[in-house]
């Protein structure tokens, strides 16, 4: 079968590799659509921590069941999406039901080869059958689940005012789930066209120009109360460090994006607010299921979210274009030529 291998930073190549064979408890999935994620772009750019090459990228995956080993009761030919976080089931996090932050986690396309290829074998626990959604929608379930998980971490209530920092794909997921909780939602970004998109598509309640005086804008938008929840989806040290000073007293901060740096803050500012600082890593199966339900019942909108697509046979060229500044990509997907 064909696979696209990231041989080293900046180099993707088509390679002929052996088609995998499912062992007991494994499912062979014929890939139909692959979402392109910031993680893939960072890995390609060589700035993803702990990344080894060569690697087949791609963890936002949908397809059909092609075959299965013994002990699997998924029907052949059925549409599936893949939960790409393979956890050990034994460590302290797994024992406490938090496989999303397993100490030995292996994320497809990061720690082991992912799905930019024709077929992939995955343990059955991570393959979920779902009817009624397109393969492209199923390929963006993972991305929306990250936002869903962040909103769950903060236990958002309808009385909250939530500020989402960064309106990329993860931010858009967080915005939609925060809106579903009934909270007032503000979004901040450096790009005005992205803010306008969020207002039009997701009916956010207030826009913050991240290049302007953020504190003053928040003071006005919240009548001096400031946001009770801030969800950072920027991966920007300055933005992350600014959260404490812009938070309501008694509020919560969720760091979704990871930055390869130390974050520092002033303890009295942190303390006087009785700040709750939360990390959010990956997503749980429940988050995935909530996203699928939301896409099915229309509370979660994917329309307009996928801005770019290409076929597998032309993906290397397209991928390179998408990584360029000014590409205008919100979410890009790669469709298999036979899909
Ligand atoms: Zn992703
Ligand atoms: Zn574990």
CA of 83 to the centre of ligand 2 (A): 15
Ligand nearest to the CA of 83: 1
pLDDT tens readout for residues 67-76: 999 999 999 9
| Class level of CATH domain 147-279 | alpha beta
Residue 146 CA to ligand 1 centre (angstroms): 8
- Determine the distance separating the centroid of ligand 1 and the alpha carbon of 305, expressed in angstroms: 14
- Say how far apart CA 244 and CA 231 lie, in whole Å: 11
Q: What is the pLDDT of residue 326?
A: 84
CATH 3.30.70.3040 fits 2-140+302-335, yes or no: no
pLDDT at 308: 96
- For the chain, the straight-line distance linking the first and the last C-alpha, in angstroms and rounded, comes to 16
pLDDT, mean over the chain: 95
Ligand 1 centroid, distance to 39 Cα (angstroms): 6
Nearest ligand to residue 88 Cα: 2
Torsion over CA: 103, 7, 335, 327 (sign): positive
| Alpha helices per DSSP H over the chain | 38-45, 92-95, 135-139, 141-154, 169-180, 192-202, 214-221, 237-242, 267-272, 285-297, 315-322
Looking at the CA of 91, name the nearest ligand.
2
In this structure, which ligand is nearest to the CA of 144?
Answer: 1
The reported pLDDT for the residue numbered 339 is 61
Please give the Cα distance from 141 to 120 (Å, whole number).
Answer: 18
Closest ligand to Cα 34: 1
Residue 80 has phi, psi (to 5 degrees) of -140, 160
Which distant-in-sequence residues (6+ apart) come within 8 Å of 272 by Cβ?
Answer: 249
Which residues are near ligand 1, the ion (C-beta closer than 5 Å)? 37
What's residue 271's pLDDT?
Answer: 98
The structure tokens 């503000």 sit at 186
CA distances from 155 to 234, 251, 254 (A): 21, 11, 11
As a whole number of angstroms, the distance between CA 172 and CA 8 comes to 31
Q: How far is the CA of 179 from the centre of ligand 2 (A)?
A: 32
Query: Ligand 2 centre and the CA of 38: distance in Å?
Result: 24
Domains of the chain, by residue range, sit at 2-140+302-335, 147-279
pLDDT digits (tens, 9 = 90+) for 288-316: 999 999 999 999 988 889 999 999 999 99
User: Rounded to whole angstroms, how far apart are CA atoms 133 and 266?
Assistant: 47
Task: Show the low-confidence residues of the chain (pLDDT under 50).
Answer: none
């Amino acid at each position: 079968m064909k696979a696209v291998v990231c041989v080293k930073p900046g180099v993707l190549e088509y390679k002929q590799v052996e088609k995998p064979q499912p062992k007991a408890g494994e499912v062979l999935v014929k890939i139909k659509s692959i979402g392109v994620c910031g993680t893939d772009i960072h890995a390609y750019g060589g700035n993803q921590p702990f990344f080894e090459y060569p690697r087949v990228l791609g963890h936002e995956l949908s397809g059909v069941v092609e075959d299965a080993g013994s002990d699997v009761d998924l029907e052949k030919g059925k549409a599936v999406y893949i939960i790409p976080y393979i956890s050990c089931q034994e460590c302290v996090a797994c024992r406490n039901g938090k496989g999303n932050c397993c100490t030995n986690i292996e994320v497809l396309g990061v720690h082991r080869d992912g799905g930019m290829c024709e077929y992939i074998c995955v343990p059955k626990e991570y393959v979920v059958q779902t009817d009624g959604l397109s393969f492209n929608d199923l390929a963006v379930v993972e991305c929306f689940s990250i936002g869903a998980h962040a909103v769950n971490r903060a236990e958002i209530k309808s009385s909250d005012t939530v500020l989402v920092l960064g309106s990329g794909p993860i931010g858009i997921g967080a915005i939609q789930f925060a809106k579903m909780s009934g909270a007032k939602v503000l979004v901040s970004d450096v790009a005005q066209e992205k803010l306008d998109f969020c207002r039009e598509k997701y009916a956010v309640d207030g826009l913050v120009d991240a290049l302007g005086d953020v504190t003053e804008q928040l003071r006005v938008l919240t009548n001096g109360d400031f946001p009770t929840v801030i969800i950072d989806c920027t991966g920007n040290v300055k933005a992350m460090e600014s959260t404490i000073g812009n938070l309501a007293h008694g509020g919560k901060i969720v760091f979704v994006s990871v930055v390869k740096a130390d974050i520092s803050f002033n303890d009295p500012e942190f303390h006087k607010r009785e700040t709750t600082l939360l990390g959010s890593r990956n997503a749980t199966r429940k988050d995935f299921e909530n996203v699928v339900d939301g896409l099915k019942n229309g509370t979660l909108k994917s329309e307009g979210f996928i801005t770019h697509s290409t076929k597998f046979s032309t993906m290397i060229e397209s991928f390179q274009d998408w990584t360029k500044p000014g590409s205008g990509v919100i979410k890009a997907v790669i469709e298999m030529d036979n899909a």
